[in-house]
Amino acid sequence: MNHQKKYYSILFAFVLLILIALQGYYIFNSYRLEEKDLKKSATDIAMKVMQQMEKNETDETDNKVLDYFKKLNHNKALKYSELQVISDKLIMNHKRLTPIIDSLLNEYSKENGFKIALKTEIYSVFDEINKKELLPDSPMIVYESSSEIKNPVNVNLGVWSSDDISNEKDSDLGIDKSQRHKYKIRSKSDFELINIQFLVLKKIIPLIVISLLIVALIIFLYWKSMQNLSKQEEKINQLHLTIDSIAHELNTPITTMKFALQQIQNSETKEIMSRQIHRLENTVESIFLNEESSNELLNESVLNEIIQQTKSLYPTIEIQVKTIFEYNLKLETHDFKLIFQNLIENSVKYGASKIELDFKFQKQIALNFIDNGIGIPAKDLPHVFDKYYRVDRQINQNVNGLGVGLYLVKNCVARYNGAITVQNKLEKGVEFKIEIPNEN
């Protein structure tokens, strides 16, 4: 039983790990789906804010800021100083735009509880004539929110040429066409949903809680089941110990009654007492497996004698016998009687009117017992060889026995390194098959 409990515990742990893995996978997928949906909603909000900023016809709008590069001097000595002027102007502008960005983000996000950071910057100004990057280190920020972006998600990319960034004529800007430099300007807009983890967890926490409760409930039920099983095993062991103790205590009064029996003069009374004492002895012997024997091997003559005595004992039972007795190097008479008498008595108890015996003593000792009794319920077949086990059905309540006969048979066969199996017949009854190696 302990081996079975260990096996079931390993199987339960394996199944539980699979369940936890599946739940973890499901929760992870739910997290990713929720994260994807929230990012999509945050992207829509970021786009709305950017569109709102583009509508402002001020020098701070994206296109207006890019017009600054139209006036960038072609002179190498001057263009870096002019770039610094553009950068300083953008710094002043984006600081003034930060409250506007925050206000717009809060307005569009208040229904969703989003906390969004947004930033638009010019990260590259490339001199196409001199083939040189003018912003090698830090970008020029056009506008950004007060919240810092740590994990940026790009929402927009822009590429402009200095020839295309203004609708104004060169003469209006005071630029000689021959003095113009060509620049490639690149900008990008990034955003981040800062509280995305909180929002996702908020949505999937019920799922996590339910999953944990399911796992906890399964573990609790298994623990209670194992606890109840241990208690039942303890009660069964106590019952077995009690029965064994009672049987042991009966040995003394049986011995005393045997001595007292010799003093009885009345032959009829003496015979009745003798039968009852013999009955008590058989009951006690059925509880304790007596491994002592005379070491006398069963021969064909004794085998036939045992069969004839059994036929005489049960005259109303049809007993058909087939025997092939070539030699016996293994099975002792005492043990054969134990096997034979228990299986025959078992068939008679449970309604057999016909018993077929097929015995072969060759290289293998094969003992087959087939009857037409009431059979054994399929659910009880794996347990019929357990000590004190009795099938729970109405007819068994009226049949005497302690449930140790088949237990003794199995243990006896096991001592010979043999095997015993039992199966129900298709029509009616059961068949016991015993195989024992016939060698020294």
CA-only gyration radius of the chain, Å: 48
Distance between CA atoms of residues 30 and 26, nearest Å: 6
Q: What percent of the chain has pLDDT over 70?
A: 80
Same domain, 102 and 185: yes
Average pLDDT of the segment spanning 102-128 = 88
On whether both 426 and 298 belong to a single domain, the answer is yes
Residue 164, classed as helix, strand or coil, is coil
d(CA 86, CA 213): 61
- Mean of pLDDT values over 180-189: 78
Q: Is the pLDDT of residue 2 over 70?
A: no
Number of domains in the chain: 3
* Contacting residues for 432 by C-beta, under 8 A, at least 6 apart: 343, 367, 368, 369, 370, 420, 421, 422
Note whether 368 and 357 are within 8 A (CB).
Answer: yes
Q: What is the CATH number of the domain that holds 335?
A: 3.30.565.10
Around Cβ 212, how many Cβ atoms within 10 Å?
A: 12
Residue 159, SS3 per DSSP: strand
Same domain? For 252 and 325 the reply is no
What pLDDT, on a 0 to 100 scale, did the predictor assign at position 366? 95
Does residue 20 contact residue 215 with C-beta atoms inside 8 Å?
Answer: yes
Q: What is the pLDDT of residues 412-437, one digit of tens each?
A: 899 999 999 999 987 788 999 999 99
| Residue 40, pLDDT score | 93
Which residue spans within 115-173 are E strands per DSSP? 116-127, 132-133, 140-144, 153-161
pLDDT at residue number 186: 87
Task: Give 43-69 pLDDT, tens digit per residue.
Answer: 999 999 888 887 764 444 545 555 666
- 156 and 210 inside one domain: no
Residue 286 is assigned to a structural domain of this protein: no
**Contact call for residues 74 and 180 (beta carbons, < 8 A):** yes
Average pLDDT, the chain: 81
- For 349-361, what is each residue's pLDDT tens digit? 888 899 999 999 9
Same domain, 187 and 242: no
pLDDT, residue 179, reads 46
pLDDT band at 303; cut points 50, 70, 90: very high
Q: How far apart (Å, rounded) are the C-alpha atoms in residues 216 and 147?
A: 41
Structure tokens at 217: 């409930």
Residue 242 is predicted with a pLDDT of 72
Same domain, 343 and 375: yes
Please tell me the predicted confidence (pLDDT) of residue 165.
45
**So what's the pLDDT on residue 367?**
95
What pLDDT is recorded for position 57?
45
Q: DSSP readout, 35-70? A: HHHHHHHHHHHHHHHHHHHHT--STTSHHHHHGGGG
Domain presence at residue 13: no
**Mean of pLDDT values over 170-194:** 68
Tell me if 65 is assigned to some domain: yes
> 266 and 137 in one domain?
no
Q: How far is CA 376 from the centre of its chain?
A: 34
Region 283-291: mean pLDDT is 60
CA separation for the pair 17, 218 (Å, rounded):
12
Q: Is residue 320 part of a domain?
A: yes
Is 160 contained in some domain? yes
Residue 186 domain-assigned (yes or no): yes
Contact assessment for residue 154 and residue 180, using Cβ atoms and an 8 Å cutoff: no
Q: Rounded to whole angstroms, how far apart are CA atoms 162 and 144?
A: 24
Average pLDDT, integer, range 195-207: 90
Torsion sign across C-alpha atoms 408, 409, 410, 416: positive
* Model pLDDT, residue 301: 93
15 in any annotated domain: no
Q: What is the per-residue pLDDT for 234?
A: 79
Residues 151 and 213 in one domain: no
Residue with tokens 């300007």: 185
Give yes or no: residues 304 and 264 share one domain: no
What pLDDT band is residue 172 in, cutting at 50, 70 and 90?
A: very low
Which of 271, 306, 326 finishes a domain? 271
pLDDT attached to residue 116: 92
User: Do 265 and 326 reside in the same domain of the chain?
Assistant: no
Residue 164 has pLDDT above 60, yes or no: no
Out of 238, 271, 304, pick the residue that ends a domain: 271
The token duo for 273 is 């007492």
Nearest to 367, CA basis, from 405, 403, 404, 338: 338
For residues 373-381, average pLDDT = 86
Q: What single letter denotes the amino acid at residue 9? A: S
More confident residue, 323 or 4: 323
Same domain as 185, residue 58: yes
Which of 240, 271, 302 is at the close of a domain? 271
pLDDT at 256 over 90: no
- % residues pLDDT > 90 (the chain): 30
CB atoms inside a 10 Å sphere around CB 416: 17
Give the pLDDT band of residue 77 (cuts 50, 70, 90). low
Tell me the per-residue pLDDT of 218-238, one tens digit each, with 9 for 90 and over.
999 988 888 888 888 777 777
CA dist., res. 413 & res. 420, Å (int): 7
Domain limits for position 423? 293-437
Answer yes or no: do 50 and 187 share one domain: yes
Residue 71 placed within a domain: yes
Please give the helix or strand (H or E) that residue 34 lies within, else none.
Answer: helix 2-54
Distance between CA 343 and CA 250 in Å, rounded?
25
CB 320 within 8 A of CB 356: yes
